[in-house]
């Protein structure tokens, strides 16, 4: 059965779909009417047929692949609204945090007619599973003026989010962004204020069992598995058929935790973010998720594998390999040589939001695989997983399948995948660039400063409390990539020391600025200043294992988030010796802008840079085990009964992925 389905607004034309029987029409109308209500409530349920891609009428301007030599017209147009919208929040933030001897209000007002003179801010959230999502959430809450008290005094950074132009995430950091943007740009505070059964972020419920029944969630565990299998099967059989992978099951499971809609909103697409009121009105930053290209059978990812970004308009890459972008809402259509041939239909609904989040975090497909050894899991789901594994083989179980490859025949001189109809993508952190810098250092985006929240699990010491802290590995990876002439393609990055230096000098324990001197960078382009903000224990031991800790009760969840808040604000300027932190953040924000407008750096900022900028010192001897002390007063999370995954499952997952990488 093949028919075109329509967005709810096209309900009227349903009667003319002559190949569809009466009963089916009634069913479609019922679904569409239900969707119409949803569309009214939230702008993201746009896929014509839930999780299954479906044909739609092509727009008069047929979708095509474009070259990566500029930003898209849609992004450029959107920026014209966004940059001016960042000015007032930036003014409010900079005047509140008060840089001595610098009249921030006047500076902003003098330049507000030409926003290209003013700071252009980006924020990046690393991967690292739930740990990264929650530590990142704390930082995001600290940056969000909607968080209660986040704009209450000079020690607070609330408003930084509203002052930012771009925000990027990968893997666990992508779950954070997805949870915010797939839910009408909700806030972290709003999420953690809703704790009824069926609400999102109830991480005490194992993703292997599904959400508790209640509210919008009506499925029992058995029905949950059934729903995962059914929706993926729908996709598999849609139109001429689509290749599915473990990522599809993972995607659907993630959606139940992160998308605030019945059954995890199978019809919610990533591209539909462009129609959300906050994004459309440029009241929210431009969200980007990252994944990597990896061909089936290719075992190890090198630093030169293509970085693919997903934004509300497009998926593609500025890398010199692919150097092209596809319109995201039409991915799933059968493009070839950069065009959609006249005899091909336009397909929509492939870019399901959970699938995009799942692609960026495909390393966690391993978790779904554990169902095979779970005696309580029904045969239905085990059979489905076996089918996928049989077709793929163990080494490729982390692949997300984007067949038909939108870039087939495109840019065949340099695009390594141009000659295949199959495009497979994997977790954005697999090349060790666990912080999504790539989209934010693109010269076309002209970002001045990147707030980089690093929740990576790099340290590998033998004791628990010395493990799973960041040590700069992700910065080193991006530094190396931008130093490689064959792949950097006009991107640049600050000089970054080795990870021993990070640990020896404590650069992984407190925030550090990199690239303060805009004249001394790698590569050939310009680079933003990097404000590196590593996860560290301020009030809670937040170095939870990526794969062994797969459930958090709400007390622990909130403790992680609170710690992340203090990571970003250095405990609201209460960390001893760092009472100037937020002022110095202000200096990092305005630095490049001051250069552009030939304005002298205030003395207060020179002092900040002397203190927070890495000055080139190295200490590359092997450090002793990194054993950070609690920085402020620890909060207690009382012991009691928590709904954890049986430890054997978590450990099995950890064992299965160890050796792949530590993220
Ligand atoms: C989405 O958020 C905006 C403001 O942030 C609000 O005006 C609108 O009503 C929200 N829409 C839904 C469907 O909740
Ligand atoms: C805005 O400022 C930039 C950078 O200083 C300058 O190149 C550009 O000409 C200015 N635009 C206008 C309209 O004044
Ligand atoms: C906000 O701050 C006030 C006073 O500083 C305090 O009484 C209140 O509890 C705080 N609210 C939250 C939600 O932290
Ligand atoms: C989830 O949706 C409900 C109803 O639309 C809304 O009231 C609630 O605020 C949403 N939760 C979040 C975290 O956005
Ligand atoms: C990436 O590096 C690998 C190994 O060094 C090499 O075989 C491959 O050709 C490189 N690809 C590109 C696009 O530079
Ligand atoms: C760009 O924006 C226009 C107008 O909103 C929209 O019709 C079009 O589909 C967008 N393009 C992409 C690639 O999303
Ligand atoms: C590459 O693309 C060009 C232009 O479309 C075409 O002429 C050429 O045959 C293609 N080469 C290969 C190896 O496919
Ligand atoms: C940093 O992390 C990497 C990746 O886990 C590890 O190989 C390296 O030994 C670590 N170095 C230090 C000094 O912790
Ligand atoms: C920092 O401020 C936030 C928001 O008021 C609060 O929740 C947090 O506990 C404060 N941190 C410290 C260390 O006081
Ligand atoms: C650039 O910075 C690096 C690291 O701080 C330093 O080693 C090098 O000497 C600097 N180069 C110049 C030209 O200042
Ligand atoms: C949450 O988990 C912690 C850590 O295991 C535990 O000590 C605490 O009692 C749990 N709280 C609840 C309400 O289950
Ligand atoms: C500045 C630069 O090197 N740009 C190159 C980026 O990659 C594309 C595609 O390979 C080249 O055409 C550009 O010249």
Tell me the ligand closest to 295's alpha carbon.
5
Residue 320 Cα to ligand 12 middle (Å): 5
The confidence score (pLDDT) of residue 182 equals 97
Binding-site residues, ligand 1, Cβ < 6 A: 41-42, 184-185, 277-278
Look at ligand 3, atom 1, and give the residue with the nearest C-alpha: 149
Angle of helix 246-258 relative to helix 221-237, nearest 10 degrees, comes to 130
Residue whose CA lies nearest to ligand 6 atom number 12: 313
Nearest CA to ligand 4 atom 10: 260
Three-class secondary structure of residue 532 per DSSP:
strand
For residue 663, tell me if it sits in a domain. Answer: no
Report how many domains make up the chain.
1
CB 179 near ligand 4, within 6 Å: no
Taking the CA of residue 276 as reference, the ligand 1 atom at the shortest distance is: 1
Contact of 524 with 490, CB cutoff 8 Å: yes
* Residue 9 domain-assigned (yes or no): no
Contact 208/367 with Cβ under 8 angstroms?
yes
* Strand pairing report for 346-348 and 400-401: unpaired
In this structure, is residue 34 part of a structural domain? no
Q: Is the CB of 190 under 6 A from ligand 4?
A: yes
Question: Closest Cα partner for 328 from 352, 351, 354?
Answer: 351
Minimum CA distance residue for ligand 10 atom 3: 616
Pocket test for ligand 11, best of 540, 642, 643, 644 (most atoms within 8 A of CB): 642
The two three-digit tokens of residue 538, written as one number: 């301020």
pLDDT at 312: 98
| In-domain check, residue 35 | no
Q: What is the DSSP letter of 159?
A: T
Per-residue model confidence (pLDDT) at position 466: 82
The reply to whether ligand 9 has any atom less than 6 angstroms from the CB of 565 is: yes
> Is 254 a member of any domain?
yes
C-alpha atoms less than 13 angstroms from C-alpha of 483 in its C-beta half-sphere: 12
Residue 21 lies in a domain: no
What's the whole-model pTM score? 0.91
Residue 314, token pair as written in the block: 């497009």
| Sign (positive or negative) of CA dihedral 31, 33, 39, 41 | negative
Residue whose Cα lies nearest atom 2 of ligand 6: it is 74
d(CA 454, CA 434): 8
pLDDT of residue 216: 78
Crossing angle between the packed helical segments 172-181 and 353-360, to the nearest 10 degrees: 160
Is 488 touching ligand 9 by the criterion CB < 6 Å? no
Q: What is the pLDDT of residue 194?
A: 95
- 33 inside domain: no
Residues of the chain short of pLDDT 70, as ranges, are: 1-44, 300, 393-394, 523-524, 639-663
The secondary structure of 2-34 as a DSSP string is ------GGGGGGGGG-TTS-HHHHHHHHHHHHH
**Alpha carbon distance 400, 11 (integer Å):** 33
Residue 502, domain member (yes or no): yes
Give pLDDT, residue 461: 77
Contacts of 183 (CB under 8 A, 6+ apart): 42, 44, 191, 200, 259, 260
pLDDT tens by residue, 390-424: 777 667 788 999 999 999 999 999 999 999 999 99
The pLDDT score that the predictor gives to residue 43 is: 42
Q: What CATH number is attached to the domain comprising 416? A: 3.40.1090.10
Residue 44: its pLDDT value, please?
63
For ligand 12, pick from 65, 66, 67, 69 the residue to mutate: most ligand atoms within 8 Å of CB.
Answer: 69
Nearest atom in ligand 3 to the alpha carbon of residue 149 is 1
Probe residue for ligand 6, chosen from 61, 62, 269, 274 as the CB with the greatest number of ligand atoms within 8 Å = 274
Name the residue among 64, 125, 145 with its Cα closest to residue 411. Answer: 64
Q: How far is the CA of 419 from the centre of ligand 5 (A)?
A: 17
The answer to whether residues 210 and 221 touch, using CB atoms and an 8 Å cutoff, is yes
- Domain of residue 200: give its range: 40-658
E strand spans, 406-507: 424-427, 449-454
Per-residue confidence (pLDDT) for residue 516, from 0 to 100? 95
How far CA 292 is from CA of 316, 368, 401, 423, 549, in Å, comes to 10, 21, 12, 11, 25
321 CB near ligand 12 (under 6 Å): no
CB 581 within 8 A of CB 570: yes
């Amino acid at each position: 059965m093949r028919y075109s389905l329509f967005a709810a607004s096209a309900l009227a034309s349903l009667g003319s779909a002559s190949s569809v029987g009466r009963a089916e029409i009634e069913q479609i109308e019922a679904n569409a009417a239900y969707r119409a209500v949803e569309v009214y409530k939230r702008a993201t349920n746009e896929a014509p047929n839930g999780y299954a891609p479906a044909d739609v009428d092509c727009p008069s301007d047929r979708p095509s692949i474009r070259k990566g030599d500029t930003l898209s017209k849609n992004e450029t147009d959107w920026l014209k609204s966004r940059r001016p919208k960042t000015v007032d929040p930036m003014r409010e933030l900079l005047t509140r945090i008060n840089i001595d001897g610098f009249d921030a209000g006047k500076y902003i007002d003098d330049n507000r007619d030409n926003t290209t003179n003013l700071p252009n801010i980006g924020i990046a959230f690393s991967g690292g599973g739930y740990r990264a999502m929650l530590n990142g959430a704390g930082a995001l809450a600290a940056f969000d003026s909607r968080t209660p008290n986040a704009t209450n005094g000079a020690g607070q950074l609330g408003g930084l989010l509203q002052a930012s132009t771009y925000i990027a995430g990968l893997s666990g950091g992508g779950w954070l962004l997805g949870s915010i943007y797939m839910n009408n740009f909700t806030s972290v505070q709003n999420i953690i204020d809703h704790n009824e059964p069926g609400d999102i972020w109830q991480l005490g419920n194992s993703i292997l069992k599904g959400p508790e029944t209640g509210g919008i969630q009506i499925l029992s565990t058995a029905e949950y598995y059934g729903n995962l299998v059914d929706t993926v099967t729908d996709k598999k059989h849609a139109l001429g058929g689509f290749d599915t992978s473990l990522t599809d099951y993972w995607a659907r499971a993630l959606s139940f935790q992160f998308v605030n809609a019945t059954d995890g909103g199978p019809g919610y697409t990533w591209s539909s973010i462009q129609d959300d009121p906050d994004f459309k009105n440029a009241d929210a930053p431009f969200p980007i998720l990252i994944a990597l290209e990896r061909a089936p059978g290719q075992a190890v990812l090198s630093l030169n594998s293509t970085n693919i970004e997903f934004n509300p308009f497009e998926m593609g890459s500025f890398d010199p390999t692919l150097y092209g972008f596809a319109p995201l809402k039409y991915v799933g259509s059968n493009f070839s040589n950069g065009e959609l041939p006249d005899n091909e239909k336009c397909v929509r609904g492939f870019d399901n939001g959970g699938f995009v989040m799942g692609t960026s975090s495909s390393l966690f497909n391993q978790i779904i695989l554990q169902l095979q050894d779970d005696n309580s899991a029904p045969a239905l789901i085990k059979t489905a997983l076996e089918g996928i594994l049989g077709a793929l083989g163990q080494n490729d179980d982390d692949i997300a399948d984007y067949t038909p490859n939108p870039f087939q025949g495109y840019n065949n001189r340099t695009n390594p995948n141009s000659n295949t109809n199959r495009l497979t993508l994997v977790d954005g952190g697999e090349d060790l660039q666990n912080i999504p810098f790539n989209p934010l250092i693109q010269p076309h985006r002209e970002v001045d400063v990147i707030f980089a929240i690093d929740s990576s699990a790099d340290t590998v010491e033998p004791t628990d409390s010395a493990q799973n802290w960041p040590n700069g590995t992700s910065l080193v990876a991006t530094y190396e990539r931008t130093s490689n002439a064959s792949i950097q393609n006009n991107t640049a990055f600050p000089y970054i020391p080795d990870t021993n230096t990070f640990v020896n000098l404590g650069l992984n324990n407190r925030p550090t600025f990199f690239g303060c001197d805009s004249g001394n960078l790698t590569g050939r382009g310009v680079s933003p200043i990097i404000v590196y903000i590593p996860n560290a224990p301020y009030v809670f031991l937040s170095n939870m294992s990526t794969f062994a800790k797969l459930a958090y009760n709400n007390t622990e969840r909130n403790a992680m988030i609170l710690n992340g808040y203090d990571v970003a604000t250095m405990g609201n300027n209460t960390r001893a010796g760092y009472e100037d932190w937020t002022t110095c953040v202000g200096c990092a924000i305005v630095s490049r802008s001051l250069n552009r407008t030939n304005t002298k750096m205030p003395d207060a900022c020179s002092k900040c840079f002397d203190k927070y900028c890495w000055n080139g010192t190295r200490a590359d001897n092997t450090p002793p085990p990194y054993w950070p002390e609690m920085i402020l007063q620890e909060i207690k999370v009382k012991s009691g009964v928590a709904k954890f995954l049986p430890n054997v499952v978590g450990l099995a997952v950890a064992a299965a992925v160890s050796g792949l990488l530590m993220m």
